[in-house]
Amino acid sequence: MTLQKRLLGWLADAALILYFVFALFPIAWMVILSLKPTNQLFSTYFSFSPTFDGYRTVLGDSEGIPFVRFFVNSLVVSVGAVVLSLVVGLPAAYASARWRFKGSENLMFTLLSFRFAPELTVIIPLFVLYQKLGLFDTYVGMIWVLQLVTLPLIVWIMRSYFADLTPELEQAALLDGYSRKQAFFKVALPLVKPGVAAVSLLAFIFAWNNFVFPLILTSNEAQTVTVGALSFLGGDRPKYNLTAAAALVSVVPPLLLALTIQRYLVRGLSFGAVKS
C-alpha cells in the first residue's frame, strides 16, 4: 500500500522532471548557443569552450549592427505604447463599464475586433499610408500602430475591473463633494491599481514581442529588438550565437518588469469595500 503510493509519487516526480526538461530545453539551448564561440558554432552540440564574446559583440555594436539602439527603440516604443494606451484606455474602460449608451457595445466590439484581425491583413495599406504620412520608421508611427495591440487589451481588461467595483463608491465620493473626475482619480483608479499593473505588464510584453509591425513599418531608426536580432542572421554566414545572445538580452526588460510588478498582481485591494 505505502510502497505503491511511494512508487506513484516517484513516477509523478519523474514525469514532472521530464516535462521540466522538455519545457526548459529551448531556453537552455538558447543559452548554450549564445555562449558558443563563432568557430565552434556548427561543429559541436554541448562540448565547446564557453565565451561571452557573443554578448560583447551584440552589446558592443560591432558587426555594424546597432543592437543597443534597437534595444532602446524597443523600450521607447513599448513603454510609449503602453502609456498612451493607459491614458486613452483607462477613461474609456471606465466609461464603458459605467455608462451604457446606444451603440456602446458595438463600439467595444469594434475595439476588440482589432485584436482578432491578423496584422498581416492591414500591413500593406498601413505601409503605404506610413510612407505617405512620414510615419515610416519613426517612434510616433510605431507607438501609434502598437495601439492596435495594447489598447483593446487594456480597455477590455480594465473594463471588467471597473465593472466589478461597485458604483456606490464613486457615488459616495460625489456626495462627499467631489466632482466626477475627482471621484474617478481618487476613488475608482486607486482601487483598480492591481488591474492596471497586471494589464500594463501584459500589454508591454505584447508590444515588446510584436514582430510584424516593426518588420514592415521600420527600417533602421525605429527598428526594435525582435527584428533587429535577426540582422545577425544576414551576411555570408548566419551567426546563431549572436542572435541567441540578442534574444536573451531582449528577454531581460519584460522579466524585470514582471518581477517588480508581481506584488501588485496578487493583491485583492477591493476586499472589504462593501458588505457582500
Partner 1 sequence: MIRLEGVHKTYGKTTALDGLDLEVQEGEFFCLLGPSGAGKTTTLKTVAGLEQPDSGTVELDGKDMAGVEPYDRGVAMCFESYALYPHRSAYDNLASPLRSPRHRLPAAEARERIGAIAELLGISGLLDRPVGQLSNGQRQRVALGRVLVRPARAFLLDEPLSHLDAKLRQQMRAELKAIGAVRRTTTLYVTHDSLEALALGDRIGVIRDGRIVQTGTREEIWHRPFDTEVARAFGRPRINLLPGVIASDGGFRSADGKVELPLGVPVRENTDVLVGVRPRDITINGPGHELTGTVYVTEVLGRSVEVTVRLGEQQVSLVAPRADTAGLRPDDPVRLTVRPENLLLFEADRPERPGRRIESTR
Binding flag, residue 102, partner 1 (CB under 8 A): no
DSSP 178-216: --HHHHIIIIIHHHTHHHHHHHHHHHHHHHHH--HHHHH
Closest to 189 (Cα-Cα) out of 100, 276, 269? 269
Binding flag, residue 248, partner 1 (CB under 8 A): no
Binding flag, residue 171, partner 1 (CB under 8 A): yes
Binding flag, residue 65, partner 1 (CB under 8 A): no
Q: Which of the stretches 55-63, 64-72, 143-151, 172-180 binds partner 1 when contact is defined by CB under 8 A?
A: 172-180
The CB-of-182 to partner 1 minimum distance in angstroms stands at 8
Binding flag, residue 105, partner 1 (CB under 8 A): no
Closest to 224 (Cα-Cα) out of 154, 148, 143? 143
Q: Which of the stretches 104-112, 166-174, 229-237, 256-264 binds partner 1 when contact is defined by CB under 8 A?
A: 166-174
Binding flag, residue 181, partner 1 (CB under 8 A): no
The CB-of-273 to partner 1 minimum distance in angstroms stands at 4
User: d(Cα 128, Cα 80) in Å, to the nearest integer?
Assistant: 23
Q: Which set of grid coordinates corresponds to residue 209?
A: 514581442
Q: Which of the stretches 41-49, 69-77, 179-187, 246-254 binds partner 1 when contact is defined by CB under 8 A?
A: 179-187
* Interacting residues toward partner 1 by CB under 8 A: 166, 168-169, 171-180, 182, 187, 190-191, 269-275
